[in-house]
Amino acid sequence: MPFSCPILSEDIGHGWGILNVEPCEGLKWFDRRIEYWLKPMFKPEGIFPALVTPFTKDRKRVNEGQLRQLVDHCIEAGVNGVVPCGTTGEFVNMTIDERKRVIDVVVDQTNGRVPVVAGTGASGTEQALEMTKYAKDAGVEASLIVTPYYLKPTSRGIYEHYSTIASQVDLPIMLYNIPQVTGLSLPWQMVEDLAQIPNIVGIKDSSGQLSFILAILEKVRDKINVICGHDEVVVAALAAGASGAILASANFIPDIWVQIYGHVKNNDLEKARELQYKVQKIARITVQSGAVGAKEALNMMGVKVGPVRLPLSVGGVLTYEAREELRLDLEKIGKIKAKLVKFEVEEKVLEGRFMAVHITPDTIRDFKLRVGEALAGKDAEVAHIDLIIGNKGGPVGEAFARAKANPTAGHEALVAILEPNVVVKPVTLMVPTVTIKNMRQASMVYGPAQSAIAKAVADSLDDGTIPMDVVDDLIIIANVFVHPSAINRQRVYINNYKAMRHSIRRTIEGRPTADEVIENKDRSKHPFKYTP
């Protein structure tokens, strides 16, 4: 016979309600509720990677094996939890069934080692409610719910969205403010109101606005935990009182963020700042490119996670220039390690230490003629390098001799020098692409651009991109673009340095490969196509 049992009402989150259930069923239910009430409420603390979602090569399915490997990779680095199906997880480009399966796989693979906070947001309340209920049943510790996007509800609508879900699912809930993608900011006054709901336990702020984080900390730090979601301001947010961070870059540099978090907890801000400075460019690129940058970094490091789904792509939100910069910085912090690569230059066969990634060939041969190019920067100070590298006794050596013996007016070639009377090796000839018509333009090309070219060659020799044992056998010719209206000498130097560094690497590796060209053919364009 059914009986009435006073319980804590799930509908309103407090007070008493009446539950009509069968006695046996009711006692079991009541036991579970007692266990839930007595268990300390989960509150997010520490470093949580916003997990990317690995897809198969054709982008059609979730690669569950790679997802499991990624979870282990992050846990082994000491993270405090993981967050599947968030923005970095490309949840908006996944079906509901795919999202549910990803949550199941992550919960299973963590196996209680760290908490799982599942992204369960949606633009509609019913869809978000369905996902949150599913996540609870799957065994997550909490859900992360983004503000409703696209239709941009009023403040009342936002409140009802969160309060409806919180009242119907007895699961700790984190608010999620990321106005740059939702088109809607979550006002701190709204956060103050929502913090009164017992099972709303935290907020992830990805706006990058420290003033917003400070306002929330001022108002509700005694009620909910504030989590930084913007990779560029982590130390500042933690120092201000944030309880942790959920980060895209924690997929591939989780150990560094764990160290930073530990330093702040131990009041050693100097060490925390120095580590943040070391990865600041990586953080900036990741914030700008999201899942694309995080996946490229992981793939370059050998943690395979496959491609992103369209409309995201390399060459889009992650430019080819940014991908090369990301690679260089991962090398600097030791995430991409040098390996032995064979070089075959004329009769010489030698092994050199090369910062190799998955696209680097094991043997680099045929130095008769190798070509490459790279772009860096924007506006008037943009730099573009067309590069050829080859044996002194081959066609590149012949071209070098002709350019020196028969200079073309306005395109006079110059041998790059590191300092007065010190020619860079391999010998490098710089040829202006744009016709030089005045002294100011000549000063830009033969001044900062030339210095940048020489420095890039020297650094490529130091890091093993160009093997030391063949410097006297090779010739480099760089066609250098400097816009006639360029005026900022520092930017001309920096952009030409970057472009030369990237073009040398691409030339040595034989990139883009035929596969890369085919993959990107529909997204490629001339770098100045839309420039007046």
Q: What is the Cα 396 distance to its own chain's centre?
A: 38
Structure tokens at 375: 């772009």
Handedness of CA 500, 505, 510, 512 (dihedral sign): negative
Pairing of strands 3-8, 16-21: antiparallel
Q: What's the DSSP call for residue 393?
A: T
Report d(CA 404, CA 400) in Å as an integer.
6
176 is an active site residue: yes
28 is an active site residue: no
* Catalytic member of 134, 162, 176, 497: 176
**Nearest-5° angle of CA 292, CA 213, CA 131?**
55
Structure tokens at 388: 């050829």
Q: Which helix (H) or strand (E) holds 518?
A: helix 514-520
Q: What is the Cα 306 distance to its own chain's centre?
A: 14
Task: Give the contacts of 519 (CB within 8 A, at least 6 positions apart).
Answer: none
Burial zone of 438 (CB within 10 Å; 0-12 exposed, 13-18 middle, 19+ buried): exposed
* Catalytic member of 100, 136, 204, 455: 204
Report d(CA 217, CA 228) in Å as an integer.
12
The packing angle between helices 280-289 and 320-332, to 10°, is 150
Q: How far is CA 63 from CA 258, 320, 359, 474, in A?
A: 27, 25, 21, 44
Report d(CA 511, CA 472) in Å as an integer.
24
Q: Where are the strands (E) in 229-283, listed by range? A: 244-247
The catalytic residues are 176, 204
